Copies of this chain bind each other. A is one copy, B any other.
Amino acid sequence: MHPKEKPDVNKVKFGSVFTDHMFKMNYTVNKGWHDPKIIPYQPVTLDPAAMIFHYGQTVFEGLKAYRTEDDQILLFRPDQNFQRLNRSSERLSIPHVDEEEVLYYLKQLIALEKEWVPKGEGTSLYIRPFIIATENNLSVHPSACYTFMIILSPVAAYYPEGINPVRIYVEENFTRAVKGGTGTAKTAGNYSAAYNAQNEATKQGFSQVLWLDGVEKKYIEEVGSMNVFFKINGEIVTPALNGSILEGITRKSMIELLKSWDMPVVEKRLSMDELLEAYNQGLLEEAFGTGTAAVISPIGELIWRDQKMKINGGETGNVSKRLYDTLTGIQTGKKADSFNWTIQVNSLDETTSN
C-alpha cells in the first residue's frame, strides 16, 4: 500500500481528508465484539437493507491527537470519550464496547499514523470513533450486528487568525432535544435534526443558534453543537445536565479548571429571562460555547426576540481567553498537565499513560 500524500493541513476543510489506516471491529450476538483490526482506510460495503440506513441506530465520538513542540503525540481524556460512547450506546440499544480495548487500539492506530498528526499552532488529528447497525432487516428493532470503526482526519487550526466572537440568536421554532429523547447521546439523528435551524441562522448572517429546552422554551441548553457558559456578575454559569444536554468533555474540563482556580462556577437551570435581566443590569460579562472542535467559541452578540445583547463589547473575555489558553496548552503539552488529562502515544505497542 502506498501511503497517501499528506496535505497542507491549513488548506484542508475540516473532516474531509483521512489517513492511510482505520480501525474496525464487528459485533454479532453470538460472538460479541470480535475481530478487532487496523486495516488500510477503505470503503464500507453494506446491503441496502442495513439498518443504519433505515432506523438510525448509531453513536459516535469526537476527540483529537495533538503534536507537542518536541514531537510527542498526546491524546486528551480519551477514556472520557469511550465512557460517553458507551452511555450513548445504552440510549440507542447498542452493545457496550470494552473501553480499555478500544483505547488500546486507538493508541496503536495513532502510533501507526503518527506522521499524520500535523505540526503547527492549533492543528490536530481529529479522531472519529463510531458504531453503525449492520443487520440487513427492515423490521423496527435493535440490530443483531454492528461495526465499530475509528477514522482519522488531520485538521487545521480552528482560529487561524485568533479567536473571533460570533453572533448567535435564540432559536424559538426548532427544538434540539427534550427530556426522555436522545439529546444526551452522541447519535447521528440529533445533528441532522438541527440543519434547518442552522441553515436559517446562516441565511440571516448568524453563526449558530442558542437552543432552549424543548418543554418550556425558556431555559438555555446548548449553542450550535456546543455546551454553553456565561459569566454573570463574576460567577461562571452553565446549564445543569438535565436529561437533554450533551455531557461535553470540554464542558467538564472547563468546570474542573475553573474550580482549580477557585473561581465560582455553578451548574444550574438558567432561563433567558434571567440572562436578559443580568444583561440589562450590566452583569452579563462573558458568554462562550465549548466543544472539541473549537475548544472555546466566544459569543459576541446574542439576539433574543427583539433584544440584542452585546457581550463584553463583542470581544473575547478574560475567562474565555484563560480557559482557551490553558486547555489548549495542556492538550499540546505547552502547559503542565496537573490533572493527568493527557495520554502520550509512543511507538506501536509501547504506548504508555503519562
* Residues of chain A whose beta carbon lies under 8 Å from any beta carbon of chain B: 13-16, 18, 22, 41-50, 52-58, 60, 62, 91-93, 126, 128, 130, 132-133, 136-142, 149, 151, 153, 173-175, 177-182, 187-196, 198-199, 214-215, 225
Contacts and interface: CB of A to CB of B under 8 A. Distances in A.
B13 A48 contact: no
Contacts of A179: 175, 214
B48 A43 contact: yes
A84 to B, nearest CB: 16
Given A137-B13, A173-B180, A52 B55 contact: no
A140 B49 contact: no
Contacts of A181: 174-175, 177-178, 181, 193, 214
Given A13-B139, A16-B138, A189-B190, 8 more contacts: A16-B136, A18-B49, A92-B192, A93-B199, A140-B225, A181-B181, A182-B189, A182-B193
B93 A130 contact: no
Contacts of A192: 55-58, 92-93, 133, 142, 187, 189
B93 A196 contact: yes
Contact of A49 (B15, B133, B178, B193): B15
Given A195-B142, A214-B181, A187 B188 contact: no
B55 A56 contact: no
Contacts of A57: 192, 195
A108 B215 CA distance: 46
Contacts of A142: 192, 195, 199
B45 A45 contact: yes
Given A178-B181, A214-B215, A55 B191 contact: yes
A48 B142 CA distance: 21
A123 to B, nearest CB: 16
Nearest to A47: B43
Point out which of A16, A192, A199 has the most chain B C-beta atoms below 10 A from its C-beta. Answer: A192
